[in-house]
Amino acid sequence: MIAAAMLPQAADAKSCSRQGEECRSWARTRVSARYFDTYINRCSAETNACIARCKTGIKVFVDVFDSPGSAQQYPIDECR
Q: CA-CA distance, 62 to 43, in Å (whole number)?
A: 9
Percentage helix, strand, coil, to 5, in the chain? 60, 10, 30
pTM for the whole thing? Answer: 0.79
pLDDT digits (tens, 9 = 90+) for 27-59: 999 999 999 999 999 999 999 999 999 999 999
pLDDT digits (tens, 9 = 90+) for 13-29: 699 999 999 999 999 99
H-assigned helices in 7-71: 16-30, 33-55
